[in-house]
A and B are shown apart, each in its own frame.
With several copies, the nearest count.
Chain A
Amino acid sequence: MAVRVQHEPFDFGAEANAFAAGRSDAGAVVTFTGIVRDLARGDLDRMEIEHYPGMTERALGGIEAEARARWDLRDCLIIHRFGTMVPGDMIMMVATASPHRADAFQAAEFLMDYLKSRAPFWKKEYTRDGALWVDSKDADEAALGRWAKG
C-alpha cells in the first residue's frame, strides 16, 4: 500500500513490474496510467500541474483506504506527479491487486474517479496562444455517483 506525490518522473514499467512481481496471493493486477495528451489542434507546448502539499497526501491516502475497505485488495499503489510535463509524459498511475479481477478493475476505476475530482490537483495548459486552466468535467463529477453507498 503506497501513495507517492512527486515532481520527478516515474518508470511506469518498473513500477508495474515491482507491483506485480511474484504476487501469488492475488491473480489479478490492474493498472491505469494517465498521459499528457496533446490538444486537438496539436499545439500543446506543456502542462503544469499545481497541487496542495499536505492535503494531496491526505486525500490520496483517504481514497486508497476507502478502496481497501470496499474491495478485497492485497495491494494498492497511487503515484501522482506535479510540475511541468509535455505531451506523452506520464502524469500518474494507480495499480490494484486482488484475488478477483472484478475487484481489481472496480477498485482501480474508483481510485481514478475519486482522484480526478477529489484530490487537489489543477492542470494548466500552455500553447503558443497563452495558458488556460483545464476545466473540470461534469462527466467526472457524475462518475462519482456510481460509487455512492445505497
Chain B
Amino acid sequence: MIEILYFAWVRERIGLPKERLETSAATVADLVEELKAREERYAAAFADLTALRVAVDQELTEFDAPLDGVREVAFFPPMTGG
C-alpha cells in the first residue's frame, strides 16, 4: 500500500487530499499512468507533467524514480513559498 498525497491545484482537480492505493507500478511515471487511466479528473490533473513536481517519501525526486519500498508519494505544482 502506498499513500498518495495531492496539494494545491492538483488536490483541487482530483478532489481529495490523499488516498491509499495498492499498486504494482514500478516507477512514479507508471503510477501516474495507472491513475490517469482511472478517471477523467486524474487525466486532467496529470495532463502536463512539466507543470508538476513529485516527492517520494517526502524528498523531491523525478518521475522516473522507483517505487520499491516507498510508503508515500506526493504530487503538486512548483512550490511558491517565502
Binding site for B on A (CB under 8 A): 34, 49-52, 54-55, 58-59, 80, 91-92, 101, 112, 115-124, 133-136, 141
Partner pick for B79 among A34, A91, A120, A124, CB 8 A cutoff: A120
Residue of B nearest to A111 (CB): B82
In this complex, the member of B55, B60, B79 whose beta carbon has the largest number of chain A beta carbons within 10 angstroms is: B79
B81 touches A92 (CB 8 A): yes
B56 to chain A, nearest CB (A): 10
In this complex, the member of A59, A112, A122 whose beta carbon has the largest number of chain B beta carbons within 10 angstroms is: A122
A55 to B18, CA, bound (A): 15
In this complex, the member of B8, B11, B81 whose beta carbon has the largest number of chain A beta carbons within 10 angstroms is: B81
B79 touches A136 (CB 8 A): yes
In the complex, 30 of the A-B residue pairs with CB atoms within 8 angstroms, ordered by the A residue number, are A34-B82, A50-B7, A52-B74, A54-B58, A55-B55, A55-B74, A58-B59, A91-B82, A92-B82, A101-B82, A112-B82, A115-B82, A116-B81, A117-B79, A117-B81, A119-B79, A120-B55, A120-B76, A120-B79, A120-B81, A121-B82, A122-B7, A122-B77, A122-B80, A123-B80, A123-B81, A133-B80, A134-B80, A136-B79, A136-B80
